[in-house]
Amino acid sequence: MTKKQLIPEQINKKLEAAPIPDILNWVNEHFPTEKIGFSTGFGSSGGVVLDHLMQVNKNIPVFYIDTGVLFRETYALRDRIEKKYGVRFIRYRADLSWAEQEEKFGPRLWESNPDLCCHIRKVLPLREALSHYEVWITAIRRDQSPTRINTRVIEWEPRFKVIKVNPLAAWTGDMVWRYIRERNIPYNKLYDLGYGSIGCFNCTSALRAGESEREGRWRGLGKTECGLHFPTTDKWAHSLETQEVDR
């Protein structure tokens, strides 16, 4: 049986309304711990999944993509989480330094071609990270944006050839924050300053009145996804999924 065949329709139906521990236990029952990886961008939803993960299996590897331009508040949160849970994050980053990227593709690539910038600094490091795992646990939710509305609890990720597990798929933002307050989970202090989704400091801004959670990302560029979870807006960037950036 292939990894893809492990996720028949009845599994999704069974786990759709299941508590997060039940979803994570399904993963534990079918895969060795060292082949399961949880990725976090240190967002509010990630804090909820990590808290559950620490209750179910503390040994599952936890990793993050360090673009080199994360907010200082994000790095501070990483350190607080490490202290609270005793977790040691695995860091992945781009092969190109920011100086090398500028020399090769020009200055301020996040403005001239934001999809390419995200591909270099996020997608390629994620590909390297997931080459070590058979299961990728995420914290994405359907209500975060229209591009995530069809997210399933268990799905096959053909780009990285892993089973993708989204235990918060059916959760809402209100549910996330209720859990954070009840469990006193550490969170990024930028949320208190009006940020809704937090990524790189050169591409992230606080929300304006009436904006949805991810509208502070890549403001004015017509972009809502970095490409980790697809889709990106630039068709050319899509083709990079089957290529390597010429280094």
**Phi-psi region at 161: left, alpha or beta (left = phi > 0; alpha = psi -120 to 50):** left
Cβ density class 218-232: b for 16+ within 10 Å, e for less: beeeebbbbbbbeeb
**Residues whose CB falls within 8 Å of the CB of residue 183, separated by 6 or more in sequence, listed in order:** 51
Active site residue 200: no
Of 117, 118, 203, 226, the catalytic one is: 226
CB 92 within 8 A of CB 125: yes
**Is 199 in a helix, a strand, or coil?**
coil
Starting at the edge strand that comes first in sequence, how are the strands of the sheet with 154-157 ordered?
90-92, 62-65, 36-39, 135-137, 162-165, 154-157
Phi, psi angle pair for 43, to nearest 5°: -85, 175
**Residues whose CB falls within 8 Å of the CB of residue 209, separated by 6 or more in sequence, listed in order:** none
Measured CA to CA in angstroms, residue 242 lies from 98, 152, 158 at distances of: 23, 24, 11
Residue among 122, 97, 138 nearest 199 (CA): 122
CB 92 within 8 A of CB 66: yes
- The residues carrying an active-site annotation are 226
